[in-house]
Each structure stands twice: as structure tokens, then as C-alpha cells.
Amino acid sequence: MSQAPETGAATGGGEVLPSYTSHPDHGSYLMPAGFPVDGFISGLSYEASKNDLFVATYPKNGTTWTQHIVYLILNDGKPISAEQRLDQEFPHLEEVGREFVEKRAAVSAGFRLIKTHLPYDMTPQNSKAKYIFVIRNAKDTVVSFFHHTRGFVKHYNFADGTFDTYFRLFVEGRVDFGSYFDCVRSWLDHKDDDNILCVTYESLRSNPREGVLKIAEFLDAKVYPERLLANNEEILNKVLEHSSLKSMQQDPRRWCSERPKEHTPFIRKGNMGGWDELLTPIQIEILDSKMREICTEEEMQMLGDKY
């Protein structure tokens, strides 16, 4: 049984904590307090089918961006319109639950589109389904996730929380969707599976053209690369244009619910290496050390110098 969320009020020592819902039957897995409890339980019971296409990430690792890239590739470069919501086309499994995904997730070019932040072992599996896992370095992740948690007051009640408090919870894995390090490790263990594509946020940001074509080839090597490159790369250019940071900062209601104007926008900077706005040298070393603990030298080289 899932327990009611903790409040985000100050502790006895005056420290403000985010509000989460804990699921004791699933290792006390934490979800945002504003998410429906039944959605998580129902989502875990979803049976993946051969036509499913999952975008799987730890939060703030390029989820929305990758979802939109996939949507653009499958729809010949036509973007999500101002009247549409991405979460209706590409729903979040553990938020909305099994029935919503089965009945309402968009079926685009034969794929049922699904988003998840679950680690590999909790994600519904089917050997014929496709999974795109995107990884972003822990330093940028914790800074972005902190801004996200402060910004969605109705989910977390953490508007007055401090970064030092959030950093401690993040390192301990006591934030929603669990440990960043456990999630990354779980998917890296399957990076060579035929139906899984692992992409780093940094490589996609550094060379979006190459990244988009890699995703297109993974979706269907016989169809999408050729389609994107036809007519002087007409569709590819549309995908790159509409998935750019500038374009996605327009009509933000496409991606998320309303948030207070005094907080940072949902599509914030999208940059790399901006962690020093909040992280101290000691905190940077803590995160770097934990990455070295969970990854081999070969994996660290694959991930790149931001890790």
C-alpha cells in the first residue's frame, strides 16, 4: 500500500523538504506528491507490446526534448502545435497508468509512444519493443532537477527549499524517481541490447544532426534516414528547427502545466556544464566520485568529459 505524502513544511530544524509519495511495496520508491497514487501502481502492471516505443530517462535528462524529436521524425517534421499537449500524445506511464496508455497513447507510424523515468528493472519489457534511454551528467541533472522541484509547487511544495538540502537528498537517492546513479547503471547494463538505444544528452546537444539521424536509424533504418535526407534534407531540417531550444521555449504549455512566473521556466537553458551556478567544488567531486564508482573506464569514455 502507498502512504500519503509527507508535507513540504519545515522540519524541527527549519529545513524545508520536498513533498513525495512513498510506495513501500516497491522499495519505498518516491513519486511527486502531486501525482495520482493509482497511476504508479497501474503503470507498473502495464504489459509492453512489440509496437511500443519508450523514451526512458532519469528526470531532467532531456526527456521532453527527445520525445519531441521522436514525434517530429515520425510525423515528417510537423511539431506539436500550441493546441496540443505532448503528455497526451506521449504519456508518462507511471503518472497516468496502464489504462490511459493502452487507450489514449498516440499510435504514430505504428508505434505506441510512451514516456518513463523508471529504472530498467521496473520498466515493462518486451524484446520486440524499442527503448531510447537518454543520459545526462549528474552535475547538470541535480541543478536542473532542483529548479524543477522548486518550480512545481503543487507537486512538491518546495518553493522555499535550498539547494544544499536538495543536493543531499539527490546524492542519497531520496528524491522522486529514486537514485540517479541506480537508474543510469540499470540501463547501462543493457546498452548493447538490440532493442535499446543509449544516447547521451551531451552528444545530442553537441551534434543534433548526427543524434537525430541515429534515432531515426534506430526507429527503422530502412525508412527514416532516407526520408529525413530526401529533397535536400527537407524533413531533417524541420526536425532540427522545431526541436531547437529556441523553438521549444515557445508555447511552453505544450510541455507542462502552469508554473509560477517567479520560478524558472520548464524549458530553461538546456545547456551543458552550467552546474557551477550552484555546485561547490566539494559537491562536484562527490558526484564525479559516485559516477566513477558505478561506471567502468570504458563507459566513462563513452559518456564523455562532462561525466
Instruction: Return the active site residues.
Output: 117
C-alpha cell at 4: 500519503
Cβ distance 87 to 93 under 8 Å?
no
Q: CB neighbours of 202 closer than 8 A, spacing ≥ 6?
A: 136, 137, 272, 303, 304, 306
Q: In a 3-state reduction of DSSP, which class is residue 127? A: coil
Phi-psi region of 179 (alpha: psi -120 to 50; beta: other; left: phi over 0): beta
C-alpha cell at 294: 558505478
Q: What's the one-letter identity of residue 272?
A: M
Consecutive H or E run containing 165: helix 163-172
Q: How far is residue 301's CA from residue 278's CA, in Å, rounded to a whole number?
A: 26
CA dihedral of 123, 136, 143, 11, whole degrees rounded to 10: 30
